[in-house]
């Protein structure tokens, strides 16, 4: 059974935006696209950029450092310079709480 941890409230992540949350020693980027919240590792696979500080465009999250984008649904890179995927994490919403399983 996955262990679910509450990391934010829905209102903390408006549609089309991303934030950074901490789960234990791990930093995650939460991004909301088309009303759904997705969680991926906060560390860009190109050079460690903070993805939670990036920009949401459709289902893509753009790294603020050099502009690579990742599909938040799959973690796969959709624009260079990143070529490796970021890890995705399961998300559920309980009431107004966003929970992730890491
Ligand atoms: S660190 Fe993210 S694009 Fe370079």
Our answer on whether the CB atom of 66 is closer than 6 Å to any ligand 1 atom is yes
Q: Is the pTM of this model over 0.85?
A: yes
CA of 25 to the centre of ligand 1 (A): 21
What is the residue range of 33's domain?
A: 4-101
Give the pLDDT confidence of 65-86 residue by residue, as tens digits: 999 999 999 999 999 999 999 9
The answer on pLDDT for 93 being more than 80 is yes
pLDDT for res 102: 83
CATH number of the domain that 44 lies in? 2.102.10.10
Our answer on whether the CB atom of 46 is closer than 6 Å to any ligand 1 atom is yes
CA of 79 to the centre of ligand 1 (A): 10
pLDDT for res 2: 74
Contact 41, 49 (CB under 8 A): no
Contact 73, 36 (CB under 8 A): no
Cα–Cα distances (Å) from 65 to 4, 45, 55, 61, 62, in that order, read 30, 11, 11, 12, 9
Query: What share of the chain has pLDDT > 70, as a percent?
Result: 100
Task: Work out how many domains the chain is built from and give that number.
Answer: 1
């Amino acid at each position: 059974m996955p262990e679910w941890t509450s990391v934010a409230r829905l209102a903390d992540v408006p549609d089309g935006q991303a934030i950074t949350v901490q789960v234990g020693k791990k930093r995650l980027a939460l991004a909301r696209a088309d009303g759904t919240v997705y969680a991926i590792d906060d560390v860009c696979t190109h050079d460690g950029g903070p993805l939670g500080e990036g920009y949401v465009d459709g289902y893509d999250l753009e790294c603020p450092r050099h502009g690579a984008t990742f599909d938040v649904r799959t973690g796969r890179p959709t624009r260079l310079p990143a070529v490796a995927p970021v890890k995705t994490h399961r998300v559920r919403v309980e009431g107004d709480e966003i929970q992730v399983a890491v």
